[in-house]
Amino acid sequence: MPNDRLHHVEDLLRLHAPQVLGALVRRYGHFDAAEDAVQEALLAAARQWPSAGVPDNPRGWLIKVASRRLTDALRADDARRRREETAARLTPRDAFAAPAPGESRGPSEDDTLTLLFLCCHPELTPAAQIALTLRAVGGLTTAEIARAHLLPETTMAQRISRAKARLRGEPFRQPGPEDRDQRLAAVLQVLYLIFNEGYTATSGRALHRADLAREAIRLTRAVRRLLPHEGAVTGLLALMLLTEARSAARTGPDGELVPLDEQDRTRWDRAAIAEGTALVEEALSEGPAGAYQLQAAIAALHDEAERAEDTDWPQILALYDVLVERAPEPMAELGRAVAVAMVHGPGAGLAEVARLEERLAGHHRLAAVRAHLLERAGDREAAREAYGVAAAATLSVPEARYLRRRAARLG
């Protein structure tokens, strides 16, 4: 079976998954049962479409199959069926905004964003928000999500099940103007967390989980299509593209980590860099720059340098100064410490690192930055010890190997 046909089917399923789920939730309610029915329809399509061919109206096919699965499940529970009939009688006819299964037109409002708001409900934990977003909006199966997070499928199934139970009864609508900005910020944070876990896995033997990084970019593109003039959304997409553009050069032949200043920049994705840079310029023109826009601008300066020594560190430091003022966060301040060292010397950078000791105590990135700056300052013994501390603290196998290698080089 040709791989391109399989990829075409996978892309279609992920494209239509949130729209199909939105159609069912609008018509029937019961987010948890509707989500299960959509997953069954997606699995049925994944089995049938590659060999039988994609139907003329794939979205309508999925809605029809999922609707049948859902109504069968609802009929199996008499009490639930009675509640559903009562709700249907009390609901105005024009409230059913989803199209009929055979229709190809879209719903009156896009359901992807509504689903993202629902999956990123503030009462869910970040881990639950991520898992539910990947399943309900991304169309990934529980097994795929579990593999991506290196967890048993049963553990991930329980996490998703608890999240869906918590959302039972929540209205399927976008938040009102009074809390819309806060809820959108939560959606973007979840997408950013998904991307970060894909770009630099926090545990396991692989440094890069391309499937998660790609899914985060795909979902962020979808949000930007719906909110094209939101600077934070544009900035986040730019940040992802500019960061992911370096992925091919981040590992060596044996999967070892290659730091930014040692990467073969001819392997960077120049098309992604060009798109990301254009998006940065657009994002910065759409109002006061927030954290995502500023981080994207920093990433663009790194990507535009043909050689590591060409990096405009004074401009990067200036951007970090604005970033930590507007969005004070320890990891941003740690990045600023590196920029301070590159502009004013390692001693100045180490002084900045020392100020973060309490807030980042035990974090391997703090120890790694300290080791790097100590090495630049010429304190080989202290640097070797700090590299060892960082290697012991990380759960990422490639990062630990890299840090131990740096320590051994100094020994």
**pLDDT tens digits along 166-207:** 888 888 888 888 888 999 999 999 999 899 888 876 666 777
Report d(CA 61, CA 22) in Å as an integer. 15
Enter the tokens of residue 258. 């290659």
Report d(CA 299, CA 316) in Å as an integer. 9
Closest Cα to residue 191, out of 254, 261, 115, 267?
A: 115
pLDDT of residue 85: 57
Contact 337, 330 (CB under 8 A): no
**Residue 276 half-sphere exposure toward CB, CA atoms < 13 A:** 32
Displacement of CA 381 from its chain's centroid (Å) = 38
Assign 234 a pLDDT band (cuts: 50, 70, 90): very high
Report d(CA 118, CA 126) in Å as an integer. 13
Q: Averaged over 305-312, what is the pLDDT?
A: 96
Among 111-115, 251-255, 355-359, the range of highest mean pLDDT: 355-359
Report d(CA 262, CA 243) in Å as an integer. 16
Closest Cα to residue 340, out of 358, 319, 359?
A: 319
Q: Which residues does residue 395 pair with via DSSP β-bridges, in sequence order?
A: 203
* 406 has pLDDT over 90: yes
For 291, the enclosing helix (H) or strand (E) is helix 291-304
pLDDT of residue 146: 85
pLDDT of residue 307: 96
The answer to whether the pTM exceeds 0.85 is no
Length of the chain: 411
pLDDT of residue 77: 62
pLDDT of residue 86: 54
Angle 231-244/210-226 helices, nearest 10 degrees?
150
Q: Dihedral through CA 216, CA 221, CA 223, CA 229, nearest 10?
A: 130
* 4 has pLDDT over 60: yes
Alpha helices in 135-209 (DSSP H): 142-148, 153-166, 180-199
Report d(CA 130, CA 358) in Å as an integer. 28
First to last CA, the chain: 53
* 20 has pLDDT over 90: no
54-107 residue pLDDT tens: 888 888 899 999 888 888 887 776 555 565 555 555 444 443 334 444 444 444
For 395, the enclosing helix (H) or strand (E) is strand 395-396
pLDDT of residue 339: 98
Report d(CA 348, CA 342) in Å as an integer. 9
Closest Cα to residue 389, out of 400, 378, 379, 398?
A: 400
Residue of 237 and 194 predicted with greater confidence? 237
Lowest mean pLDDT among 37-41, 98-102, 120-124: 98-102
Sign of torsion, CA 357 362 365 371? Answer: positive
**φ, ψ dihedrals at 104, nearest 5°:** -100, -10
Lowest mean pLDDT among 212-216, 227-231, 385-389: 212-216
pLDDT of residue 94: 40
pLDDT of residue 78: 56
pLDDT of residue 107: 43
pLDDT of residue 81: 54
Sign of torsion, CA 204 206 207 213? Answer: negative
Residue of 362 and 379 predicted with greater confidence? 379
Q: Averaged over 327-344, what is the pLDDT?
A: 96
Enter the tokens of residue 240. 């992802």
pLDDT of residue 404: 96
pLDDT, averaged across the chain: 86
Q: Averaged over 15-19, what is the pLDDT?
A: 83
The neighbour count for residue 378, using CB atoms within 10 Å, is: 9
* 379 has pLDDT over 80: yes
